[in-house]
Amino acid sequence: MKIPIYQIDAFTNEQFKGNSAAVCPLNYWIEDALMQKVAAENNLSETAFFVIKDNGYELRWFTPKGEIDLCGHATLASAYVISTYLDNNLKNIKFTTKSGLIEVSKEGSLFTLAFPSREGEKCDIPEALIKGLGKVPKEVYKSRDYMAVFDTEQDVLELKLNMEELKKLDGFGVIATAKGEEVDFISRFFAPNAGVDEDPVTGSAHCTLIPYWKNKLNKSELIAMQLSERGGKLYCTDLGETVKMSGEAVAYLEGFINI
Protein backbone atom coordinates (compact mmCIF):
# COMPACT_ATOMS: atom_id res chain seq x y z
CA MET A 1 0.00 0.00 0.00
CA LYS A 2 1.22 3.49 -0.90
CA ILE A 3 -0.21 6.32 1.21
CA PRO A 4 0.45 9.90 0.05
CA ILE A 5 2.03 12.10 2.69
CA TYR A 6 2.59 15.85 2.84
CA GLN A 7 4.41 17.74 5.55
CA ILE A 8 3.09 21.27 5.94
CA ASP A 9 4.32 24.12 8.15
CA ALA A 10 1.14 25.78 9.46
CA PHE A 11 0.47 29.23 10.95
CA THR A 12 3.46 30.63 9.08
CA ASN A 13 4.51 31.66 5.58
CA GLU A 14 8.11 30.48 6.08
CA GLN A 15 9.52 26.96 5.98
CA PHE A 16 10.94 25.75 9.29
CA LYS A 17 8.59 28.06 11.22
CA GLY A 18 5.11 27.58 12.64
CA ASN A 19 3.92 24.05 13.46
CA SER A 20 4.68 21.15 11.17
CA ALA A 21 1.94 18.58 10.52
CA ALA A 22 1.87 15.46 8.39
CA VAL A 23 -1.22 15.04 6.21
CA CYS A 24 -2.24 11.71 4.69
CA PRO A 25 -5.15 11.65 2.22
CA LEU A 26 -6.83 8.22 2.17
CA ASN A 27 -9.22 6.57 -0.28
CA TYR A 28 -10.86 4.76 2.65
CA TRP A 29 -10.28 4.45 6.39
CA ILE A 30 -7.47 2.11 7.35
CA GLU A 31 -7.15 0.47 10.77
CA ASP A 32 -6.77 2.81 13.73
CA ALA A 33 -3.70 0.89 14.91
CA LEU A 34 -2.00 1.49 11.55
CA MET A 35 -2.76 5.21 11.62
CA GLN A 36 -1.31 5.35 15.12
CA LYS A 37 1.87 3.59 13.95
CA VAL A 38 2.23 6.07 11.08
CA ALA A 39 1.79 9.00 13.49
CA ALA A 40 4.39 7.55 15.84
CA GLU A 41 6.80 7.00 12.95
CA ASN A 42 6.29 10.56 11.70
CA ASN A 43 7.02 11.79 15.25
CA LEU A 44 5.40 15.17 14.64
CA SER A 45 2.98 16.70 17.12
CA GLU A 46 0.11 15.64 14.83
CA THR A 47 -0.56 13.54 11.77
CA ALA A 48 -3.90 14.17 10.04
CA PHE A 49 -5.78 11.61 7.97
CA PHE A 50 -8.80 12.44 5.82
CA VAL A 51 -11.23 10.66 3.51
CA ILE A 52 -13.35 12.47 0.93
CA LYS A 53 -17.12 12.25 1.41
CA ASP A 54 -20.09 13.56 -0.59
CA ASN A 55 -20.36 16.83 1.33
CA GLY A 56 -16.75 17.32 2.34
CA TYR A 57 -14.15 15.34 4.24
CA GLU A 58 -13.89 13.19 7.34
CA LEU A 59 -10.81 14.21 9.32
CA ARG A 60 -8.95 12.60 12.23
CA TRP A 61 -5.81 13.63 14.12
CA PHE A 62 -3.16 11.52 15.87
CA THR A 63 -0.27 12.51 18.12
CA PRO A 64 2.66 10.07 18.43
CA LYS A 65 0.80 8.51 21.39
CA GLY A 66 -2.89 8.66 20.56
CA GLU A 67 -5.86 10.14 18.75
CA ILE A 68 -7.09 13.57 19.84
CA ASP A 69 -10.44 15.35 19.55
CA LEU A 70 -9.33 18.67 18.05
CA CYS A 71 -6.23 20.08 16.34
CA GLY A 72 -5.86 23.48 14.71
CA HIS A 73 -2.59 23.37 12.82
CA ALA A 74 -3.20 19.92 11.29
CA THR A 75 -6.65 21.10 10.15
CA LEU A 76 -5.07 24.13 8.50
CA ALA A 77 -2.45 21.85 6.96
CA SER A 78 -5.16 19.50 5.64
CA ALA A 79 -7.04 22.42 4.09
CA TYR A 80 -3.79 23.57 2.49
CA VAL A 81 -3.21 20.10 0.97
CA ILE A 82 -6.78 19.89 -0.36
CA SER A 83 -6.78 23.39 -1.91
CA THR A 84 -3.22 23.13 -3.27
CA TYR A 85 -2.97 19.56 -4.53
CA LEU A 86 -6.50 18.13 -4.84
CA ASP A 87 -8.90 20.94 -5.76
CA ASN A 88 -7.41 24.34 -6.60
CA ASN A 89 -10.83 25.97 -6.94
CA LEU A 90 -12.11 24.97 -3.50
CA LYS A 91 -12.45 28.00 -1.20
CA ASN A 92 -14.64 26.50 1.55
CA ILE A 93 -13.84 23.11 3.04
CA LYS A 94 -16.03 21.17 5.46
CA PHE A 95 -14.51 18.61 7.81
CA THR A 96 -16.52 16.13 9.88
CA THR A 97 -14.53 15.45 13.05
CA LYS A 98 -14.80 14.14 16.62
CA SER A 99 -15.53 17.76 17.62
CA GLY A 100 -18.33 18.15 15.07
CA LEU A 101 -18.38 20.03 11.78
CA ILE A 102 -15.39 22.32 11.19
CA GLU A 103 -15.32 24.73 8.28
CA VAL A 104 -12.21 26.26 6.76
CA SER A 105 -12.35 29.13 4.28
CA LYS A 106 -9.52 30.34 2.07
CA GLU A 107 -8.93 33.89 0.89
CA GLY A 108 -5.65 34.52 -0.87
CA SER A 109 -2.96 32.81 1.20
CA LEU A 110 -4.96 33.02 4.44
CA PHE A 111 -6.93 30.07 5.83
CA THR A 112 -9.63 30.72 8.45
CA LEU A 113 -10.72 27.94 10.79
CA ALA A 114 -14.05 28.04 12.67
CA PHE A 115 -13.71 26.06 15.92
CA PRO A 116 -15.99 25.56 18.93
CA SER A 117 -15.26 27.93 21.83
CA ARG A 118 -13.96 26.21 24.98
CA GLU A 119 -14.09 28.85 27.68
CA GLY A 120 -12.23 27.76 30.80
CA GLU A 121 -13.58 27.76 34.35
CA LYS A 122 -11.47 29.31 37.07
CA CYS A 123 -10.02 26.65 39.36
CA ASP A 124 -7.56 26.11 42.20
CA ILE A 125 -3.90 25.97 41.18
CA PRO A 126 -2.66 22.34 41.24
CA GLU A 127 0.68 21.82 42.97
CA ALA A 128 1.92 19.78 39.99
CA LEU A 129 1.24 22.74 37.70
CA ILE A 130 3.32 25.08 39.86
CA LYS A 131 6.17 22.57 40.02
CA GLY A 132 5.84 21.77 36.32
CA LEU A 133 6.04 25.40 35.23
CA GLY A 134 8.50 26.49 37.92
CA LYS A 135 6.48 29.62 38.62
CA VAL A 136 3.19 30.47 40.34
CA PRO A 137 0.59 31.86 37.90
CA LYS A 138 -1.74 34.63 39.01
CA GLU A 139 -4.77 32.53 38.05
CA VAL A 140 -5.64 29.19 36.42
CA TYR A 141 -8.60 28.08 34.31
CA LYS A 142 -9.62 24.60 33.15
CA SER A 143 -11.32 23.37 30.00
CA ARG A 144 -9.76 20.49 28.05
CA ASP A 145 -6.43 21.98 29.12
CA TYR A 146 -5.22 23.89 32.13
CA MET A 147 -4.58 27.55 31.30
CA ALA A 148 -2.08 29.35 33.54
CA VAL A 149 -2.21 33.15 33.28
CA PHE A 150 0.93 35.18 34.07
CA ASP A 151 1.58 38.90 34.50
CA THR A 152 4.10 39.37 31.70
CA GLU A 153 5.36 37.91 28.46
CA GLN A 154 8.76 37.48 30.09
CA ASP A 155 7.23 35.30 32.81
CA VAL A 156 6.02 32.89 30.14
CA LEU A 157 9.36 32.90 28.31
CA GLU A 158 11.29 32.16 31.52
CA LEU A 159 9.31 29.14 32.75
CA LYS A 160 11.48 26.42 34.30
CA LEU A 161 9.73 23.34 32.99
CA ASN A 162 9.45 19.92 34.64
CA MET A 163 7.60 17.60 32.27
CA GLU A 164 7.33 14.80 34.84
CA GLU A 165 5.30 17.11 37.07
CA LEU A 166 3.09 18.24 34.16
CA LYS A 167 2.38 14.58 33.36
CA LYS A 168 0.64 14.30 36.74
CA LEU A 169 -2.12 16.71 35.69
CA ASP A 170 -5.51 15.40 34.56
CA GLY A 171 -5.91 17.79 31.59
CA PHE A 172 -4.76 17.07 28.05
CA GLY A 173 -2.21 19.88 28.09
CA VAL A 174 -1.12 23.09 29.76
CA ILE A 175 -1.39 26.58 28.28
CA ALA A 176 0.78 29.38 29.64
CA THR A 177 -0.33 32.84 28.58
CA ALA A 178 0.12 36.57 29.20
CA LYS A 179 -0.72 39.89 27.59
CA GLY A 180 1.61 40.46 24.64
CA GLU A 181 4.11 43.23 24.20
CA GLU A 182 3.68 43.51 20.41
CA VAL A 183 0.45 41.51 19.94
CA ASP A 184 -2.72 41.19 22.02
CA PHE A 185 -1.66 38.01 23.82
CA ILE A 186 1.04 35.34 23.75
CA SER A 187 1.12 31.71 24.80
CA ARG A 188 3.07 28.48 25.04
CA PHE A 189 1.60 24.96 25.12
CA PHE A 190 2.81 21.72 26.71
CA ALA A 191 1.34 18.21 26.33
CA PRO A 192 3.93 15.68 27.57
CA ASN A 193 1.32 12.94 28.10
CA ALA A 194 0.57 13.11 24.36
CA GLY A 195 4.25 12.82 23.46
CA VAL A 196 4.59 16.57 22.78
CA ASP A 197 6.66 18.36 25.42
CA GLU A 198 6.16 21.76 23.79
CA ASP A 199 3.93 22.25 20.77
CA PRO A 200 5.13 24.96 18.36
CA VAL A 201 1.69 26.43 17.53
CA THR A 202 -1.57 25.09 18.98
CA GLY A 203 -4.82 26.09 17.31
CA SER A 204 -7.04 24.10 19.69
CA ALA A 205 -5.55 25.90 22.73
CA HIS A 206 -6.85 29.16 21.25
CA CYS A 207 -10.41 27.87 21.70
CA THR A 208 -9.77 28.66 25.39
CA LEU A 209 -7.35 31.56 24.94
CA ILE A 210 -9.55 33.64 22.64
CA PRO A 211 -12.63 33.94 24.91
CA TYR A 212 -10.41 34.68 27.92
CA TRP A 213 -8.52 37.51 26.23
CA LYS A 214 -11.66 38.83 24.56
CA ASN A 215 -13.12 39.38 28.03
CA LYS A 216 -9.89 40.78 29.50
CA LEU A 217 -9.11 43.17 26.63
CA ASN A 218 -12.75 43.90 25.70
CA LYS A 219 -12.18 43.29 21.99
CA SER A 220 -13.31 40.53 19.64
CA GLU A 221 -10.55 40.84 17.03
CA LEU A 222 -7.19 39.72 18.43
CA ILE A 223 -3.69 38.97 17.18
CA ALA A 224 -1.81 36.20 18.97
CA MET A 225 1.71 34.82 18.96
CA GLN A 226 2.80 31.44 20.26
CA LEU A 227 6.31 31.87 21.62
CA SER A 228 7.82 28.49 20.89
CA GLU A 229 11.24 28.14 19.28
CA ARG A 230 9.58 27.97 15.82
CA GLY A 231 6.89 30.51 16.66
CA GLY A 232 3.61 31.24 14.94
CA LYS A 233 1.03 34.01 14.44
CA LEU A 234 -2.74 33.68 14.58
CA TYR A 235 -5.42 36.22 13.68
CA CYS A 236 -8.34 35.51 16.01
CA THR A 237 -12.02 36.41 16.23
CA ASP A 238 -14.45 35.62 19.06
CA LEU A 239 -18.00 34.94 17.82
CA GLY A 240 -19.48 33.58 21.05
CA GLU A 241 -20.00 29.82 20.65
CA THR A 242 -17.47 29.81 17.82
CA VAL A 243 -13.95 31.19 17.56
CA LYS A 244 -12.12 31.82 14.33
CA MET A 245 -8.38 31.72 13.81
CA SER A 246 -6.57 32.51 10.60
CA GLY A 247 -3.08 31.74 9.39
CA GLU A 248 -0.94 30.83 6.43
CA ALA A 249 0.85 27.61 5.54
CA VAL A 250 3.77 26.45 3.41
CA ALA A 251 4.70 23.03 2.04
CA TYR A 252 7.87 21.28 3.13
CA LEU A 253 7.57 17.70 1.84
CA GLU A 254 5.61 15.53 -0.63
CA GLY A 255 5.97 11.79 -0.85
CA PHE A 256 4.55 8.32 -0.17
CA ILE A 257 4.48 5.97 2.78
CA ASN A 258 5.13 2.34 1.77
CA ILE A 259 3.26 -0.18 3.92
pLDDT at residue 88, rounded to an integer: 87
The mean pLDDT of the chain is: 96
- Half-sphere exposure for 173 (CA within 13 Å, toward CB): 26
d(CA 104, CA 222): 19
pLDDT at residue 75, rounded to an integer: 97
Mean pLDDT by runs of 10 across the 259 residues of the chain is: 97 95 98 98 97 93 95 97 93 94 95 96 98 98 98 98 98 97 98 94 97 98 97 96 96 97
Q: Could you tell me if 133 and 222 lie in one domain?
A: yes
Cβ(152)–Cβ(178) below 8 Å: yes
Q: Could you tell me if 133 and 233 lie in one domain?
A: yes
Q: Could you tell me if 148 and 230 lie in one domain?
A: yes
Cβ(150)–Cβ(138) below 8 Å: yes
Domain enclosing residue 219, as ranges: 121-238
pLDDT at residue 130, rounded to an integer: 98
Q: In the chain, how many domains are there?
A: 2
Q: Could you tell me if 133 and 85 lie in one domain?
A: no
Q: Could you tell me if 85 and 143 lie in one domain?
A: no
Q: Could you tell me if 36 and 85 lie in one domain?
A: yes
Q: Could you tell me if 19 and 91 lie in one domain?
A: yes
Q: Could you tell me if 145 and 101 lie in one domain?
A: no
Residue 19: count other Cβ atoms within 10 Å of its Cβ: 31
Q: Could you tell me if 95 and 167 lie in one domain?
A: no
CATH of the domain at 156: 3.10.310.10
Q: Could you tell me if 125 and 231 lie in one domain?
A: yes
pLDDT at residue 55, rounded to an integer: 84
Q: Could you tell me if 92 and 10 lie in one domain?
A: yes
d(CA 200, CA 20): 8
Give the torsion sign (CA, 148, 153, 154, 159): positive
- Say what the pTM is: 0.90
User: Is 165 one of the annotated active-site residues of the chain?
Assistant: no
- pLDDT tens digit sequence for 166-199: 999 999 999 999 999 999 999 999 999 999 999 9
> What is the helix (H) or strand (E) element at residue 257, kind and residue range?
strand 249-258
From 14, 31, 46, 127, the catalytic residue = 46
- pLDDT tens digit sequence for 87-116: 988 899 999 999 999 999 999 999 999 999
Q: Could you tell me if 94 and 126 lie in one domain?
A: no
Specify the length of the chain in residues: 259
